[in-house]
Homo-oligomer: A and B are copies of this chain.
């Protein structure tokens, strides 16, 4: 209700979209380092236009991250459909990481660096957490993962792998190896999950 929700003029809507795209690319590549001027330039717009649509850099960043986070709850819900509890867990973790791959600002957000106004997306975050918790509970009950696994562990491990993405960008070999090590620490001791995937 805070938003008066006046329909934007055609050009404004088009420009807003351009900003989102430009900001998305630059924040993804450079994280917070991306500069407002670059973003405006890449969108082919002036500074004034940029600031008409977003009151400041933080708001733009938050909007971008929020958009990226939008799909997460859906992702979790999809993983819940998987019958095998162990697979469900590995899938949500893997997909979560896959979603973070290649987007520096999103990675920072997920690692919890922020001061981002997560307020706006608190609900989606909660939804996601709830789904993951259900998946973990099921996986624990099935005996496919260590008995003491919690939602906090999910965050811990995911953030760890994301830090590899963030600090060792480039080929994705590193973070996938990190994920493999992490999964081996999570599975029920002695259990080898699924037959090893051939590739990575």
Complex A-B: 8 CB contacts under 8 Å = A146-B184, A156-B174, A157-B178, A159-B167, A160-B163, A160-B178, A184-B184, A189-B189
Beta-carbon nearest neighbor of A113 in chain B: B167
Which residues of the other chain, B, contact A157 by a CB distance below 8 angstroms? 160, 178, 181
Which 8 residue pairs spanning A and B have beta carbons closest together?
A: A185-B185, A160-B160, A163-B163, A184-B185, A181-B185, A156-B178, A112-B167, A111-B167
Number of interface residues of A (CB under 8 A): 28
Interface of A is mostly: helix
For the A-B complex with A111-B167, A162-B163, A182-B182 known, give 8 more contacts whose Cβ atoms are closer than 8 Å. A112-B168, A113-B167, A152-B174, A152-B177, A156-B178, A159-B163, A160-B160, A184-B186
B186 and A189 contact, CB distance less than 8 A: no
Which residues of the other chain, B, contact A192 by a CB distance below 8 angstroms? 189
